[in-house]
Amino acid sequence: MLFDMDGVVTRTTSVHAAAWKELFDSVLADSRSGVGADTPPFDADRDYRLYVDGRSRGDGIRAFLTSRGIQLPTGSPEDGPDAWSVAGLGARKNDLFLTALAALPDPECVAGMLR
């Protein structure tokens, strides 16, 4: 049996929140989103808790985009990180997260296991 231990054994919440912020801010800045410059950016604390935390990646993407009046097609699991779809944004967020995680010093990654 395998359990999802992300955020339990290692402290990755801040890394996830930063990856979500980078993703969503880039979506809001993209002309394809159809939103204006006055649209509030992704708040890594408030918006993360309201729209992303505790949801599947796709549901979190849909919830946040809906909060800003943006609708995207679902896409497919094969969509790459450049696809303008929920699945594509999910792939992009995963790439951003993995890149940030790989850049962390080892003690940060294992701090949760040392307690």
Dihedral sign from CA coordinates of 79, 80, 83, 87? positive
Active site residues: 4, 6
- What pLDDT digit, counting tens, does each position of 11-68 carry? 688 888 999 999 999 999 999 999 988 999 999 999 999 999 999 999 999 999 999 9
Q: Quick one: pLDDT at residue 29?
A: 95
Contact partners, residue 110, CB within 8 Å, separation at least 6: 10
Tell me the average pLDDT across 81-101: 96
Tell me the average pLDDT across 78-93: 98
User: DSSP H helical segments within the chain, as ranges?
Assistant: 13-29, 46-47, 57-67, 86-103, 106-110
- Whether 84 shows a pLDDT value over 50: the answer reads yes
CA distance 13 to 101: 11
- Whether 2 shows a pLDDT value over 50: the answer reads no
CA 78, 29, 68: angle at the middle one, nearest 5?
80
Whole-model pTM: value is 0.83
